[in-house]
Structure 1
Amino acid sequence: MLDGLYSTISRLEAIFPRRKFTPDGHLVGSIGEVIAAYMFDLDLLRGSNKGHDAIAQDGRKIEVKLTQGARVAIRHEPDHLIVLQRLKDGPVTVVFNGPGNVAWERCGNKGDNGQRSIPLSTLRALDRQIEQVDRLPLKREPPV
C-alpha cells in the first residue's frame, strides 16, 4: 500500500522534475496512527483529537507521530508518545516509545504554528533510556 503511494510519487516527480510530491500532513498522520494501532493494539480516537490519537489497552493516552524526515512536531504534552519513521522504500521503525513528558521536556520552543519540534536523533537517544515497564508492548511487527 505505502509502496504504491511512493511509486506514484516517484512517477509524478519524474514527469514534473521541478516539483516535489512529499506526502505530509493529515495523510501521513493518519497512516502513522493506523500503523501504530496495528503494532501496539491501540484503540484509535476520532480524527484530529486534541493531544492524543489513541488509547492503549492499559488505558494510557497515546500520541502518534510518523515522519519521513529528521524531526517531528508536537502541539501538546502527550501522556505517552510513539514516534515512527518510514524512509522512502524502507520499513517502518519505532524511534520513540515512552512517556510523553520525556520528549516534551526536550522539544524546542513553540513555533508560529503552535508546535514544538524535536529531532529524531534526540528521540532515539531518549528512547534508549526508557525502562521496559514504561514502553507500550509491541504486539505485531509493522505491516509495511
Structure 2
Amino acid sequence: MIDHSKFQALIKNLYATAKEMESMFPGRHFTPDGHMVGSIGECLVADAYGLELMAASNKGYDAFTKAGKRVEIKATQSNAAAFRSEPEHTIVIKILPDGSFDEIYNGPGSFIWSQFSGKAMPSNGQYQISLKRLKILNSRVKDDQRVPKIT
C-alpha cells in the first residue's frame, strides 16, 4: 500500500531541492525532466486512479485498470504532450511543484489521435499536442468515458 502523503511530500521536496539549486547557480536549470518526469507522472496517476503499472517503457500503454483497460499516461511540465501511437485510453497530467498534479485529459486515446489525421509523422516519430488543445478535448469527454480517481 502506498503512503499517499509521503509520496506527495517526496515529490514536493524534489522540486524544492531543484529550486534551491537554481538559486545557488543562477542561469542553471535543475528542473526534473525526461524519464524522471515520466516515472513520477506514471506513479502519481497509478496512485490516484488505482491503476496497475506495467514495467517501465512498456510499448503503447503504461498501466491498466481493474477492468483491463490499457492506459497511456503522459506527464509534462511544459505546454504539450507527445504521442507515438494511438492509445486505448489516455490520462495527461501537468505535475505541480507541490507534489500534486492537474488532470489535463482523461479519456479515449482516439479523441487525441484523431487530431493527427492526415498529418505526416514528424521526423522524431512523435506527434505533439498542446495542453490547451487537450483541455478542449477533455471538455468533450463524457463522465462514463473517464477513469475515475480513487484518491
- Determine if the TM-score, normalized by the shorter chain, exceeds 0.5: yes
Report SS of the residue matched to 1:19. Answer: coil
The question of whether the paired residues in 2 share the 8 Å contact of 1:69 and 1:87 is answered with no
**Which residue is equivalent to 2:96?**
87
After TM superposition, the runs of 4+ consecutive aligned structure 1 residues lying more than 4 A away are none
Distance in 1, matches of 2:103 and 2:115, equals 18
Residue of 40, 46, 51 corresponding to 1:37: 46
1:134 partner letter: Q
Shift of 1:19: 1.4
**Which residue is equivalent to 2:68?**
59
**Which residue is equivalent to 1:118?**
129
**Aligned Cα RMSD in Å?**
1.5
**Which residue is equivalent to 2:59?**
50
Report SS of the residue matched to 2:123. Answer: coil
The question of whether the paired residues in 1 share the 8 Å contact of 2:96 and 2:102 is answered with no
**Which residue is equivalent to 1:137?**
148
1:75 partner letter: R
Gaps of 5+ in 1: none
**Which residue is equivalent to 1:3?**
12
Shift of 1:26: 0.7
Relative distance call for 1:87 and 1:25 in structure 2 (3 A) is: same
The answer to which structure has the higher helix fraction is 2
Gaps of 5+ in 2: 1-9
Relative distance call for 1:88 and 1:111 in structure 2 (3 A) is: farther
